[in-house]
Amino acid sequence: MDANPYLALNLLLRGGAMLLLIFIATSLLTDYPRVVAARLGALFALGVAAFALYSAPGLTAPPRWWQMPVTALNSGNMFVFWLFTRALLDDAFVLRPWHLAAWGILAAAGVLNCFVFVPQNLWAAVPTGAVLTLAPVLLAALSVAQSFAAWRGDLVEGRRRLRMMIVAATAGYSILMTFVALASGDVRLAFSSTANAFGLAALSLLIAWQLMRVVGGELFEAQRIVESAFGKEASAAEHRAITQKFEAPDPTAIRVLETLMRVENLYREESLSIGALANRMGLPEYKLRRLINQGLGFRNFNAFLNAYRIDEAKRALGDSSQATVPVLTIAMDAGFQSLGPFNRAFKTVTGMTPTEFRRMNTATVE
């Protein structure tokens, strides 16, 4: 049978997927230029487009110079996907220098393997190829595990659904195709196949459709804290925006929640989950999520609890009579399980470490 129709279909599917992915990347960068998760999502979309081109049939050895950036994007793309899922999980996620360094190592390994190790039959080609093949599987599995672990604490319903769809579909596709390629014994042939091109096009279409269905603010809008007691008074414009976007929360439920948090100090319980809190309030979980998200402006259950915990810690650290109490004791009394998470959460909210805060807010006794 003539293979040309299959080749034409393969290239058509890849071309369509690439155009769709470039459209997604452009939309994210245009609509949310300052949001880290959107930037990473755009870079990931471009990386998938690079993979569609990199694995297209007809690109035979020796590779051309213009394939270098394509190879680099493709080699480091699952690391970008892992960062993207991290940013979706945590509104306070910050890119670190080591993130860029790790991506650079993977990208450089891919370029060296494609342009130096394999063409010259060097011994480094085998271990480097193995790393480049298995690393995406490990990163995809890690992304899925992290997403499932944090899924229940996400308070934004639209984001919860979309995040799990994107993570599960993309990671599942990556893992499946890698194992198919390894089982077939020809990685290049498996990734350049028409079946893979169809999978790429379907995945790109699914993600684009879901992104268009979800309100951008539910996915990428920065977390807002609207309670002045947490040290961050919302502006009048922010209050109007929240009021206009959501229906008013039940004031009785808000009072019950405030009593549990401020009077009974329920936030001090280390193992407190959204399910346990919903049971205490006699509410279904989805209603409690909506109450905390739309009534108090929090997008994550841990951030909601930490706001009360840090509020208590700030009072203790600012109390000169507790100047000799260790920071760890104050952190654990407030509900944190260890010093590291407390320090990170405290600095995110206040902009300084607990020790710096104590030094600035307690009088020196001569």
Residues above pLDDT 90, as percent of the chain: 18
pLDDT class for 59, splitting at 50, 70, 90? low
Runs of H (alpha helix) within the chain: 4-31, 36-54, 67-75, 77-89, 97-112, 125-151, 157-184, 187-191, 194-213, 216-220, 236-245, 251-258, 274-281, 285-290, 296, 301-317, 327-333, 339-350, 354-361
Structure confidence at residue 191 (pLDDT)? 67
Maximum average pLDDT range among 57-61, 89-93, 134-138, 325-329 = 325-329
* Neighbouring-strand partners of residue 154: 300
Residues 6+ apart with CB under 8 A from 17: 48, 49, 52, 197, 200, 201, 203, 204, 205
Query: Is 0.85 topped by the overall pTM?
Result: no
186 pLDDT higher than 70: no
- Domains of the chain, CATH where assigned: 4-220 (1.20.1070), 229-361 (1.10.10.60)
Structure confidence at residue 244 (pLDDT)? 46
* Neighbouring-strand partners of residue 300: 154
Whether residue 62 is preceded by a cis peptide bond, meaning omega within 30 degrees of 0, is yes
Lookup: tokens for 293: 């998200």
- Average pLDDT value over all residues in the chain: 79
Tell me the CA distances in angstroms from 134 to 131, 137, 182, 187, 292, one per residue in order. 5, 5, 10, 12, 40
**What average pLDDT does the segment 357-362 reach?**
84
Structure confidence at residue 240 (pLDDT)? 43
346 pLDDT higher than 70: yes
Q: What is the pLDDT of residues 23-35, one digit of tens each?
A: 889 988 888 888 8
**Measured between alpha carbons, how far is 262 from 258 in angstroms, rounded to an integer?**
6
Structure confidence at residue 310 (pLDDT)? 93
Structure confidence at residue 128 (pLDDT)? 92
Which amino acid, residue 98? Answer: W
Structure confidence at residue 6 (pLDDT)? 73
Q: What is the pLDDT of residues 232-260, one digit of tens each?
A: 444 444 444 444 455 567 788 888 998 99
pLDDT class for 227, splitting at 50, 70, 90? very low
**Measured between alpha carbons, how far is 95 from 107 in angstroms, rounded to an integer?**
18
Residues 6+ apart with CB under 8 A from 103: 76, 79, 80
Asked if residues 160 and 151 have their Cβ atoms less than 8 Å apart, the reply is yes
**Measured between alpha carbons, how far is 359 from 318 in angstroms, rounded to an integer?**
8
Q: What is the pLDDT of residues 78-118, one digit of tens each?
A: 899 899 888 877 777 889 999 999 999 999 999 999 889 98
Helix/strand/coil (H, E, C) string of 223-260? Answer: CCCCCHHHCCCCCHHHHHHHHHHCCCCCHHHHHHHHHH
Higher-scoring residue by pLDDT: 186, 309:
309
